[in-house]
Structure 1
Amino acid sequence: MVDVPAGTYPLGRADGPSDQRPVHHVTMGAFRMDRTEVTNAAFAEYLNALGLKVNGSFEIGDIGRRNGPREVVSLLSEGWEGSGRYPIIALDDDQARIVLGDGRFAAAPGYADHPVAEATWAGARAYCLWRGADLPTEAQWEAAARGTDNRQYPWGDNAPDSSKLFVSGRSGVTGPVGVHPAGASQFGALDMAGSMAEWTLSLKRSYPYTHLDGREDPFRAGERVTRGGDYLYDRTPEKQTVSHRDGFSNAPGRGHRHIGFRCASR
């Protein structure tokens, strides 16, 4: 993790889209944030730690389409009728890069250090809580990306290029985390533009931001804010800025090929 000091940080833009206005300031205590997005290997470790009753060996594409162990199907597959379980990751989607073999989960070959995709908002938060952390609020996320010098992008004010972020524009074509040091934020966080959009704790509500209006309540229903332009849909420089908060999709109960996450701790 990287350290983000206590202070007063700007949020939003005076000249940005309506959901980013007005520009205002938020005071927060010190916190820590993951240097990179959570990887497939790390999330597979979490799935194994859950102690699910897993029998046999089959491809993830088979989950939800066969009479496999209900514990796996109900937790890992979207749209399982009558399960009563909230999915944590949609491993039945062909964009997921975690496989199951010999009763254990593992990153698909060649994807261990790529950011995990298809985790639902609840699944992302469950992983962070398992680590003794939580999802960052969107104010924390922007502070970690923007720094104390009010930069436009995590790395500064220069326009995005391939040395600073990963953008492919092709579905499922992700890249490894942490390989663009030129794109680091002031505090050393990487991949805060490009790669995956990232879940935050915050409900999607208008500015000005205040944590007192219930937007940080994890038990309230509603879309959650994603931050950081992603590799697939948000390829324009405008959507790679630190203030961008209008992701392609924010549905918390589904996995998404373009949304990952990182954790924060106080």
Structure 2
Amino acid sequence: MALIPAGKSQMGSRQSLLELRPHDLFNTDRHTLGPENPAHEVFLDAFYIDIYEVTNAEYRKYIDATGAKKAPSLENPNFDGDQQPVAGVSWKEATAYCKWNGKRLPTEAEWEKAGRGKRPIKYPWGDSPPDSDKLNYNEEKMKTMPVGSYEKGKSDYGVYDLSGNVSEWVHDWHYPEYYLFSPKENPQGPEKGQYKIIRGGNWRNTADYVDLTYRNATTPSQKSNGIGFRCAKNASE
């Protein structure tokens, strides 16, 4: 795991949603695609986050130990490699895995800080545009890649695949205007909601949807070969 030190970092973007996502001009669903502005500063206590997305091999150990249901990625030859990220697990299943492992899902704020650090950059590697040397996106591979495959795409804290490969469940419930009133210290998201936030683009997404401020959400029961997760824990634990 990577230690993310306590301190301030920026969340969100100063650009409007339509400036960021021009293709959503006529089809944006405000209930699942929340505004990424206003940009705002938050303070987070120190925490640890997994350097890599949880893999199929790691999830198989969990299944063997607990009798949990198999993830769809374990039964698809394009997605079942030991070092490919587990995909097709619900928010509840991801939460249960992290808990079994003595961890939890990262908050939305923690996830973004792991990618941006102290810099208000657009991507984990900086502000240069995405390309196939930095991430798995735009259906170039038509499948997930082994975690940690993109050395040039890791963040300043050494965290891999925060852009591309699989999108990732985080702890928070979704509310479109949450950034307007979120706490300035250790935000945890709304207390309740209908949808859970997923962060980071995946192997299918175009360049418009792989930056660190991109917010999407879906029902907690959703399962997709484009959604996986990683775990986190408090530094004090």
TM > 0.5: yes
TM range (shorter): 0.7 to 0.9
Q: Deviations over 1:222-250 (max 9, x none)?
A: 21110001111x212x3111111125xx1
Aligned partner of 1:264 in structure 2 is 232
Question: 1:216 offset after TM fit, Å?
Answer: 5.7
- Aligned to 1:143, the other structure's residue is in SS state helix
Aligned partner of 2:42 in structure 1 is 26
Question: 1:179 offset after TM fit, Å?
Answer: 1.1
Change in CA separation of 1:26 and 1:41 when aligned onto 2, cut-off 3 Å: same
Query: Contact (CA 8 Å) 1:168, 1:174: kept in 2 or not?
Result: no
**What percent of counterpart residues are identical?**
33
Q: Deviations over 1:21-49 (max 9, x none)?
A: 11111111000100010011111110111
- Aligned to 1:189, the other structure's residue is in SS state coil
Structure 1 runs of 4+ off > 4 angstroms?
107-110, 211-214
Change in CA separation of 1:136 and 1:109 when aligned onto 2, cut-off 3 Å: closer
Alignment of 1:46 with 2:62, yes or no, is yes
Question: Which amino acid in the other structure matches residue 111 of structure 2?
Answer: W
Alignment of 1:181 with 2:151, yes or no, is yes
Aligned partner of 2:219 in structure 1 is 251
User: Structure 1: where are the runs of 5+ without partners?
Assistant: 53-74, 77-88, 100-106
Change in CA separation of 1:214 and 1:242 when aligned onto 2, cut-off 3 Å: closer
2:189 aligned to which of 215, 219, 241: 215
* In 2, Cα distance between equivalents of 1:193 and 1:10: 17
Query: Contact (CA 8 Å) 1:117, 1:257: kept in 2 or not?
Result: yes
Structure with higher RCO (Cα < 8 A, 6+ apart): 2
Q: Deviations over 1:192-223 (max 9, x none)?
A: 00100000000112213338997365xx4521
Alignment of 1:2 with 2:2, yes or no, is yes
Q: Deviations over 1:1-37 (max 9, x none)?
A: 1111101111101114161011111111000100010
Larger Rg: 1
TM-score by length of 1: 0.74
Question: 1:109 offset after TM fit, Å?
Answer: 8.9
- Map 1:1-266 → 2, pairs under 5 A: 1-17=1-17, 19-50=35-66, 52=67, 76=69, 91=71, 96-99=72-75, 111-169=81-139, 173-205=143-175, 206=177, 207-208=179-180, 209-210=182-183, 215=189, 217=191, 220-232=192-204, 234-236=205-207, 238-246=208-216, 250-266=218-234
Question: Which amino acid in the other structure matches residue 27 of structure 1?
Answer: F
- Aligned to 1:246, the other structure's residue is in SS state strand
Question: Which amino acid in the other structure matches residue 84 of structure 2?
Answer: H
TM-score by length of 2: 0.82
Q: Deviations over 1:161-209 (max 9, x none)?
A: 1111012527961111101010010100000001000000001122133
Change in CA separation of 1:111 and 1:16 when aligned onto 2, cut-off 3 Å: farther
